[in-house]
Amino acid sequence: MASTAIVLCYRDEYQHVLQQQRGDFEVLLVNEWLLSVKDKLPQRTLSTSQSYVWFSHCTESANKPSTAAEWQQIFKRFGIQLDSVNVGCCGMAGTYGHEAVNLDNSKNLYAMSWQQALDQYAQAQVLISGYSCRSQVKRLSKFRAKHPLEAILDLIKRG
């Protein structure tokens, strides 16, 4: 599965730079693909016993603001409530947060919104679509958050 940032890069920046040389192909975010096959997915009645909360990659929020609603449609199909949390940048920004010179700033960015927001939810509820964001959460909050697709696979396995 390609990262959200890579997919958006293929779409926008490669198209802009390469124009006709880019080739004729379509790259979808996983949520876009799932929506395209939504009618083939199992459908369940909405459960009140389980819910998730989704944190967006900042690039995803900026370039495709409809993503939260798309994930919510997909989870609704599985009978699961998915809420969206508005946060800023997690401070990782690809490799930015890995660079020693940016470490303090990266941690400060995380503390400004992500840390406070994450503290409001049980770790098992938290879903994060951005790879760099999941890496930052693992590094600074010391837990491994799932990608939304991982939660869906768990739902399918449970039947």
- 18 falls within a domain: no
H or E segment at 91? none
CA atoms within 13 A on the CB side of 156: 10
- 7 falls within a domain: no
- 137 falls within a domain: yes
Distance from C-alpha of 89 to C-alpha of 140, rounded to nearest angstrom: 14
User: Which CATH number fits the domain that encloses residue 97?
Assistant: 3.40.50
- 74 falls within a domain: yes
Distance from C-alpha of 24 to C-alpha of 48, rounded to nearest angstrom: 44
- 30 falls within a domain: no
Of the two residues 7 and 35, the one the predictor is more confident about is 35
Alpha-carbon dihedral angle through residues 72, 121, 112, 84, given to the nearest 10 degrees: 10
Q: What is the pLDDT of residue 137?
A: 96
140: pLDDT strictly greater than 60: yes
Q: What is the pLDDT of residue 123?
A: 96
Angle of helix 103-112 versus helix 131-141 axis, rounded to 10: 90
Could you tell me the pLDDT band of residue 28, with boundaries at 50, 70 and 90?
confident
Q: Got the DSSP string for 108-122?
A: HHHHHTHHHHHTTS-
38: pLDDT strictly greater than 70: yes
- 121 falls within a domain: yes
How buried is residue 35: exposed, middle or buried, by Cβ count under 10 Å (0-12/13-18/19+)?
middle
- 123 falls within a domain: yes
- 9 falls within a domain: no
Q: Tokens for 78, please give them.
A: 């599985």
Residues 88-104: pLDDT tens digits?
A: 999 998 788 889 999 99
Domain count, the chain: 1
Domain limits for position 147: 41-158
45: pLDDT strictly greater than 90: no
